[in-house]
Amino acid sequence: MASFYAQQHEGHRTASGAPYHAEGMTCAHRTLPFGTMLRVIDLDSGRSVVVKVTDRGPFVRGRIVDLSLAAARSLGMVSRGVARVRIERLAPGAAGPSPRAHPAAALARSAEMAAR
């Protein structure tokens, strides 16, 4: 089961030291290393979201992950409060290329540097 953080936690420090932002795609997990990327799949709707582990929890029996408000919204679980989910640990870089790694971004930077 997954649950999500209330908006009242906005700006509070997470266990990783990073501030919680309700609109960030983050989560809490009891044991996975900070920075781990997870795909969270809602077993009822089939929707999925990719989040980064930045905090510890949940500490409620039967729950495996606490999601940010934005991630919960993406899964469509806010009105339900909890959702039956499966989590998949993603390999580094599996969530998609970073903007810096994208060839078009590299070309744009090269053109920008040449124009100087």
- Taking the C-alpha atoms of residue 116 and residue 111, their distance in angstroms, rounded to an integer, is 9
* Distance spanning both ends of the chain, measured CA to CA: 53
Backbone dihedral angles phi then psi of residue 23, each to the nearest 5 degrees = -90, 0
Q: Are 94 and 38 in contact (CB under 8 A)?
A: no
Q: Which two tokens stand for residue 16?
A: 């990783």
Q: Is 16 exposed, middle or buried (0-12, 13-18, 19+ CB in 10 A)?
A: middle
pLDDT tens digits, residue range 54-91? Answer: 999 999 999 999 999 999 999 999 999 999 999 999 98
The whole-model pTM stands at 0.77
